[in-house]
């Protein structure tokens, strides 16, 4: 059995999260991903506390399973030549190097299309072509700041905040993998590759505004932007007597069952709460009813009551609770691997299942340049040529 | 010109956001998406304030462009027969109906595979097969509560919170579209469809834990879970003299340029801040330095200083600022359409570009059942059969 992308060769010139999650997604579904690292390696190797060996942070390990690492200095002619040799045989190139840098190195779509017309060239950029920020660098928080992600908290709580994840990197990377899949499908029909541009800012602005354009969808606006339900200060797990709980009575049946369950059946006739539309219009009031009710019983008591009344509700997990969550345990979410250099490690399951077959072999996240020799051999370099590249630094293994 | 999914026929039995963003993504890239709506229609039609006509909320419009709507009551035999006739000719079925409901209706993968072996059956579920929550319903906040999304805020600020977006719906929907692309690619090679299960909880737990497993990646753990940089209370757009700004000095060059720019060159020799690793370990201190510095000048002053010093930084946009953002204006992010029933509306651009061709025709988000007759005709129903279905309510147009 193998995954849907079995046989797809991906050359991965990306760092941090936006590119590595894109290529991990492709790798998890069966692609052969070769991660090309510059001297010093992907900075994510260092960007988190708690590694066992240098340059192997937990975060790096999580985002780089199922890949092989080759160390190449593409600023040296032999390094760049090896890079191009890899690309000549590849199906997909994923990169988050800025467009001007790619052009300087001859790694832009036009140059590579001439070398390999079947190559799909996926450029993840901070900002799309045609706008004033094109070619500017960015990190996740800058995109959260610009794209309205932080702005949603401003509306909800009075102060802008980031999501405490590299959410715009992570989401855009998933979209990049999605786009590569679409282009692979088209290539089966046309026989030729194409260039894809995946801009972080535009993707996240689209994410935020699809949700929060609201009444400003209409021109002139029918009211303020924003989905009032989501922007309520009380839109959060709500405190119970002994913890937190989330309840979501959405349609009429659920809302009326909720009012009965909390002992306030009279609210079913309250004009503020009679329909999904009026509950949306009166979202802050509807949340206050929930806040006041939940404080009166324990989480377990409420979960039992809501289960009986068929009102959607669920417990709250802190980050570490996920390690022990019973549903996750039952679906085999956590795996333990013996990593060849890092010892016993915990790994998340690939969450999506494909009945046509899944990737079976799991490659451990690679140390920097662990596969440099192996990949150069696959390119047809003989041992002398490989040694020469290692001696000059055009290729390398490990930290220098 | 047409998009990479040109010619792909998608039957969409989904509601709210998780399914509709999946099928909008497929539609934006060229697929022919037929949205099958039950009597009363997708609840998202009502779940936001500020519509111009009934059942056409701004949020519904944003998530349902480029689709056609057929009203079918699949609880009636003729309605279900029409549904199966649609699926017999389709490439992809996307649904967020619970598995037990699909089985009852004979819309599970095994039944449909017998009818149409090329069909890709993408089931978006709240919880995956094999765990105790399988077949339970869920809405976005319940998944935010369970999957650690809310838990990241708890660690950062002391109180669990939701992202003020339907982030887990939205993200899982994007992943569902990604998975469909991978299966379409495989089908070109094997000739047969397959079942895909896309569980919200597992996908979001994977999202959160890939970022925050941290030192708990190792077994036994090398330290606490969590990425301390992202979980710092000061990880947010920072106040300046007259607004907010985001700065992200990540690598050594950027960090040292930042210390020079704020007039604290001595911090370059501070052991807390000398490397990416030590800056991660001392993230709260590093953020405090930023907080104190930024308060002393205006946003414009800092942006100019950081631009000159090549320190990654960016302005902060409130939600409504996106409507006027200069980069978004320059890339043509906002379009204005004359919607046939809703008047002039604002629409976001499809953010990703494919050099092999993009979908050109934009279909307006449909009123409920607007294409019922058209789609039934395409199935070969004659006018008498269509009228009979409309009379019995097996098919319908509009709200009843």
Indicate which of A182, A257, A320 best probes the interface with B, i.e. most B CBs within 10 Å of its own CB: A182
pLDDT in tens, A352-382: 999 999 999 999 999 999 999 999 999 999 9
Closest CA to A54 of A380, A328, A342: A342
Inspect the interface and report whether the beta carbons of A223 and B50 lie closer than 8 Å: yes
| Domain identity same for B54 and B154 | yes
User: What are the C-alpha distances in Å from A19 to residues A11, A67, A170, B72, B121?
Assistant: 11, 13, 9, 42, 28
Q: Which of B315, B342, B374 is the last residue of a domain?
A: B315
Which pLDDT belongs to residue A353? 98
Q: Is residue A201 part of a domain?
A: yes
Gap between the Cα atoms of B96 and B88, Å rounded: 19
Above 80 in pLDDT, residue A48? no
Which pLDDT belongs to residue A69? 98
Q: Which of B281, B315, B349 is the last residue of a domain?
A: B315
Average of per-residue pLDDT across B16-29: 98
Looking at the 3D structure of chain B, how many domains does it have? Answer: 2
Q: Is residue B2 part of a domain?
A: no
Closest CA to A236 of A228, A226, A227, A247: A247
CATH code: domain of residue B17: 3.40.50.10540
Gap between the Cα atoms of B372 and A220, Å rounded: 30
Indicate which of B113, B351, B364, B365 best probes the interface with A, i.e. most A CBs within 10 Å of its own CB: B351
pLDDT band for position A18 (cuts 50, 70, 90): very high
Q: Is residue A392 part of a domain?
A: yes
| Domain identity same for B309 and B343 | no
Which pLDDT belongs to residue B138? 85
Q: Is residue A199 part of a domain?
A: yes
Other Cβ atoms within 10 Å of A395 Cβ, number? 26
Alpha carbon of B364: minimum distance to chain A alpha carbons (Å): 13
Which pLDDT belongs to residue B30? 98
| Domain identity same for A251 and A142 | no
Q: What is the total residue count of chain B? A: 400
CATH code: domain of residue A284: 3.30.1540.10
| Domain identity same for A130 and A202 | yes
Q: Is residue A3 part of a domain?
A: no
Indicate which of A93, A108, A119, A186 best probes the interface with B, i.e. most B CBs within 10 Å of its own CB: A186
| Domain identity same for B20 and B99 | yes
Which pLDDT belongs to residue A138? 84
Percentage of chain B lying above the pLDDT 90 cut: 94
- Residues contacting residue A174 through CB under 8 Å, at least 6 positions apart: A21, A22, A25, B171, B174, B175, B178
Using CB atoms, which residue from A59, A142, A354 is nearest to B214? A59
| Domain identity same for B286 and B342 | no
Q: Is residue A213 part of a domain?
A: no
**Mean residue pLDDT across chain A:** 96
Tell me which residues of chain A, numbers 146 to 175, contact chain B at a CB-CB cutoff of 8 Å: 146-156, 159-167, 170-171, 174-175
| Domain identity same for A387 and A303 | no
Query: Residue B150 is inside which H or E element, if any?
Result: helix B149-157
**ipTM of the predicted structure?**
0.98
| C-alpha B54 chain-centroid distance | 25
Tell me which residues of chain A, numbers 107 to 146, contact chain B at a CB-CB cutoff of 8 Å: 109, 127-133, 137-146
pLDDT in tens, B184-230: 999 999 999 999 999 999 999 999 999 999 999 999 999 999 998 89
User: What are the C-alpha distances in Å from A84 to residues A93, A356, B271?
Assistant: 11, 33, 41
Using CB atoms, which residue from B25, B275, B348 is nearest to A209? B348
| Domain identity same for A52 and A147 | yes
Gap between the Cα atoms of B210 and B207, Å rounded: 6
Q: Is residue A157 part of a domain?
A: yes
Average of per-residue pLDDT across B327-333: 98
- The token pair at A20 is 């590595």
Above 90 in pLDDT, residue A46? no
Quick check: A95 contacting B, CB < 8 Å? Answer: no
* Domain range enclosing A106: 9-207+351-396
Other Cβ atoms within 10 Å of A57 Cβ, number? 29
Question: Which 3 state secondary structure label does DSSP give A86?
Answer: helix
Q: Is residue B220 part of a domain?
A: no
pLDDT in tens, A195-239: 999 999 999 999 999 999 999 999 999 999 999 889 999 999 999
Percentage of chain A lying above the pLDDT 70 cut: 100
Residue A249's Cβ-count burial label (10 Å; 0-12, 13-18, 19+) is buried
Above 80 in pLDDT, residue A49? no
Residue A182's Cβ-count burial label (10 Å; 0-12, 13-18, 19+) is buried
Residue with tokens 């990593």: A339
| Domain identity same for B244 and B281 | yes
pLDDT in tens, A55-68: 999 999 999 999 99
pLDDT band for position B314 (cuts 50, 70, 90): very high
Inspect the interface and report whether the beta carbons of B354 and A214 lie closer than 8 Å: no
**Mean residue pLDDT across chain B:** 96
| Domain identity same for B301 and B349 | no
Tell me which residues of chain B, numbers 189 to 218, contact chain A at a CB-CB cutoff of 8 Å: 189-190, 192, 194-199, 201-203, 205-218
pLDDT band for position A137 (cuts 50, 70, 90): confident
Q: Which of A269, A298, A315 is the last residue of a domain?
A: A315
Give the DSSP per-residue string, B248-317.
---SHHHHHHHHHHTT-GGGGG-GGGSSHHHHHHTHHHHHHHHHHHHTTS-HHHHHHHHHHHT--EEE--
Q: Omega before B220 cis (within 30°)? A: yes
- The token pair at A243 is 């913890």
The larger pLDDT score, comparing residue B46 to residue A211, is at A211
| Domain identity same for B194 and B103 | yes
Which pLDDT belongs to residue B13? 98
Above 90 in pLDDT, residue A350? yes
Above 90 in pLDDT, residue B56? yes
Backbone angle region of A99, left / alpha / beta, with phi > 0 → left and psi within -120 to 50 → alpha: alpha
Which pLDDT belongs to residue A1? 81
Which pLDDT belongs to residue B125? 98
Alpha carbon of B385: minimum distance to chain A alpha carbons (Å): 33
Above 90 in pLDDT, residue A400? no
| Domain identity same for A101 and A201 | yes
User: What are the C-alpha distances in Å from B198 to residues A30, B5, B48, B124, B172?
Assistant: 17, 20, 26, 5, 7
Query: Residue B337 is inside which H or E element, if any?
Result: strand B334-339
- The token pair at A234 is 């009380």
Q: What is the total residue count of chain A? A: 400
């Amino acid at each position: 059995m193998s995954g849907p992308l079995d046989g797809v060769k991906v050359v991965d010139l990306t760092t941090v999260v936006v590119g590595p999650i894109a290529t991990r997604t492709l790798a998890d579904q069966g692609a052969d991903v070769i991660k090309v690292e510059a001297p010093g390696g992907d900075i994510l190797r260092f960007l988190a506390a708690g590694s066992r060996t240098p340059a192997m942070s937990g975060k790096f390990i999580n985002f780089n399973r199922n890949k092989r690492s080759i160390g190449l200095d593409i600023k040296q002619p032999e390094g760049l030549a090896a890079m191009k040799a890899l690309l000549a045989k590849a199906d997909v190139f994923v990169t988050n190097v800025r467009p001007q840098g790619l052009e300087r190195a001859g790694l832009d779509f036009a140059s590579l299309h001439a070398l390999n017309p079947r190559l799909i060239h996926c450029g993840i950029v901070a900002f799309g072509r045609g706008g004033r920020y094109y070619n500017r660098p960015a990190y996740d928080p800058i995109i959260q700041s610009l794209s309205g992600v932080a702005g949603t908290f401003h509306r909800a709580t009075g102060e802008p905040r980031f999501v405490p994840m590299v959410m715009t990197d992570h989401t855009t990377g998933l979209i990049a993998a999605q786009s590569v899949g679409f282009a692979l499908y088209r290539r089966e029909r046309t026989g030729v590759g194409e260039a894809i541009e995946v801009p972080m800012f535009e993707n996240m602005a689209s994410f935020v505004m699809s949700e929060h354009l609201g009444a400003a969808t209409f021109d002139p606006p029918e009211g303020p932007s924003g989905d009032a339900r989501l922007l309520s200060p009380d839109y959060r797990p709500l405190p119970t007597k002994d913890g937190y709980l989330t309840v979501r009575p959405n349609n009429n049946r659920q809302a009326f069952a909720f009012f009965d369950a909390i002992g306030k059946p009279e609210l079913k006739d309250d004009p503020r709460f009679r329909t999904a539309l009026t509950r949306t219009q009166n979202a802050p009031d509807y949340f206050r009813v929930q806040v006041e009710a939940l404080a009166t019983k324990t989480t377990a008591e409420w979960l039992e009551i809501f289960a009986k009344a068929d009102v959607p509700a669920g417990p709250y997990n802190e980050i570490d609770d996920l390690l022990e969550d019973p549903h996750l345990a039952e679906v085999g979410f956590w795996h333990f691997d013996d990593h060849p250099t890092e010892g016993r490690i915990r790994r998340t399951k690939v969450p999506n299942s494909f009945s046509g077959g899944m990737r079976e072999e799991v490659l451990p996240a690679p140390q920097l340049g662990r596969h440099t020799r192996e990949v150069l051999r696959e390119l047809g370099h003989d041992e002398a040529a490989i040694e020469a590249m290692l001696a000059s630094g055009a290729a390398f293994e490990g930290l220098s």
